[in-house]
C-alpha cells in the first residue's frame, strides 16, 4: 500500500483555496470591465448599423460562442420548450438589447451603463408585483432611491442635449431584464445556464432577423463599427456569459451579482477615456443614488 508524504500533499490543497480567493475578485473586475465596455461598443457601432441590425449581429455571434453548451445539453431541450425559450429570449435579450442600442444612438455610453444597474431593483420589484415575493421595508426604500436616481439622470443634459428618452429606454430595458430573470428562475430552473443562454440568444437572433434585414443600412459599414459589433457579440455577450456562469457555479449567484456595482463604473470610465465623453454632476448623483440603492437592496437579501 502506497504512503503519502503529507508535507508535500497538503500544499496544493492549501494553495487552491488561496488561488481561488485571489482569482474571484480579479474575475469579477474583468467581467465588470467587459460588460461596462459593451456600452462603449454600442455607442461606437449603433449609428452606423442602426439599433436592430446591431443587435442582430450581437445575438448571432453571442449564440454561436455558446452553441457548444447547447449542443452538449440538447437532450434537455425538447420541442415543447422552445416557445417558452422564444418568449423569454425576446423579453430578456432581444428587446432590451435593442432599447440599449437605441439609447446609445442618443446619449453617452455612461448613461446606459448607469441605467443597467437598475436590473437588481427591477428584479425585486417584478417578483413583488407578479410573483408574490416579499419586498420588505429596506428593499422598498432601496427601490425609491433607485427610481430617484433614474429621475435625476433623465432630467440631466450632456453637452446641452437632453438624455431623457435614452434614460427611459435604458430603464425600460432594465425592467425587461427584471421580468426575464424572474421567468428564467421559475420556468428554466434545472437546465444548464450556459445552454439556456445559447438557446435564448439563438432564438432571439432568429426572431430579430426579419426586422434587421428590413432596416439593414444601405451604406457600407465602417471597419471600426464592425469590430465594435464583433466585440459586443463575441466578448461582451458570449464569453462574458461563460465567465458569469462559471462564477455562479463557484461562488454562488449572490456574490457573483456584485458585478452589478462594477458595470456602470467601467461603462462611464471607458466612455470618458476612449470616447472623451463628459462626466457630469447629474451622472455622478444619479449613479450614486442607483448604486447605493442596489447595495442596500443586496444587503436586505441577507
Going from N- to C-terminal start, the domains of the chain cover 30-300
Nearest to 279 by CA among 159, 163, 167, 162: 159
Please check the confidence at residue 61 and state whether its pLDDT lies above 50.
Answer: yes
Q: What's the angle, vertex CA 70, arms to CA 69 and CA 72, rounded to 5?
A: 65
Give this prediction's pTM. Answer: 0.86
Mean pLDDT on 138-161:
79
Residue 269 has pLDDT above 50, yes or no: yes
Neighbours of 173 (CB within 10 A): 25
E runs forming strands in the chain: 157-158, 161-162
**186, 131 Cβ separation under 8 angstroms:** yes
Phi, psi of 161 (to 5 degrees): -105, 140
Long-range contacts of 248-251 (CB under 8 A, 24+ apart): 248/193, 250/20, 250/24, 251/24
pLDDT at 3: 37
Integer CA distances (angstroms), 268 to 53, 112, 157, 166, in order: 25, 9, 15, 15
| pLDDT, mean of residues 7-36 | 68
64-104: pLDDT as tens digits: 999 999 999 999 999 999 999 999 999 999 999 999 999 99
- Which percentage of the chain shows pLDDT scores above 70? 89
According to DSSP, the residues that pair with 212 across neighbouring strands are: none
Residue 24 — very low, low, confident or very high, per pLDDT cuts 50/70/90?
confident
- Look up residue 240 and give its three cell numbers: 462574458
CA distance 167 to 181: 21
State phi, psi for 157 to the nearest 5 degrees: -130, 145
Amino acid at each position: 500500500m502506497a504512503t503519502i508524504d503529507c508535507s508535500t500533499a497538503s500544499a496544493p490543497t492549501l494553495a487552491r483555496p488561496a488561488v481561488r480567493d485571489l482569482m474571484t475578485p480579479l474575475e469579477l473586475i474583468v467581467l465588470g470591465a467587459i460588460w461596462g465596455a459593451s456600452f462603449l461598443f454600442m455607442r461606437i457601432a449603433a449609428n452606423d448599423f442602426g439599433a436592430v441590425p446591431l443587435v442582430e449581429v450581437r445575438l448571432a455571434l453571442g449564440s454561436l460562442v455558446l452553441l457548444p453548451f447547447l449542443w452538449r445539453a440538447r437532450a434537455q431541450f425538447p420541442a415543447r420548450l422552445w416557445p417558452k425559450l422564444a418568449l423569454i429570449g425576446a423579453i430578456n435579450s432581444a428587446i432590451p438589447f435593442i432599447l440599449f442600442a437605441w439609447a446609445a444612438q442618443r446619449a453617452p455610453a455612461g448613461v446606459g451603463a448607469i441605467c443597467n444597474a437598475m436590473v437588481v431593483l427591477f428584479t425585486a420589484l417584478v417578483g413583488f408585483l407578479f410573483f408574490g415575493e416579499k419586498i420588505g421595508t429596506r428593499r422598498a426604500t432601496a427601490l425609491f432611491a433607485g427610481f430617484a436616481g433614474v429621475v435625476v439622470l433623465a432630467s440631466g443634459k450632456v453637452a446641452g442635449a437632453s438624455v431623457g428618452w435614452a434614460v427611459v429606454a435604458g430603464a425600460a430595458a432594465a425592467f425587461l431584464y427584471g421580468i426575464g430573470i424572474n421567468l428564467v428562475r421559475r420556468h428554466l430552473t434545472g437546465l444548464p445556464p450556459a445552454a439556456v443562454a445559447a438557446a435564448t440568444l439563438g432564438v432571439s437572433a432568429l426572431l430579430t432577423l426579419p426586422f434587421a434585414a428590413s432596416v439593414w443600412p444601405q451604406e457600407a459599414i465602417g471597419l471600426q463599427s464592425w469590430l465594435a459589433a464583433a466585440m459586443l457579440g463575441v466578448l461582451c455577450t458570449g464569453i462574458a456569459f461563460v465567465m458569469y456562469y462559471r462564477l455562479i457555479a463557484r461562488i454562488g449567484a449572490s456574490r457573483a451579482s456584485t458585478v452589478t456595482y462594477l458595470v456602470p463604473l467601467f461603462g462611464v470610465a471607458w466612455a470618458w477615456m476612449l470616447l472623451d465623453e463628459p462626466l457630469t454632476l447629474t451622472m455622478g448623483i444619479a449613479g450614486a443614488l442607483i448604486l447605493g440603492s442596489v447595495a442596500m437592496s443586496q444587503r436586505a437579501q441577507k
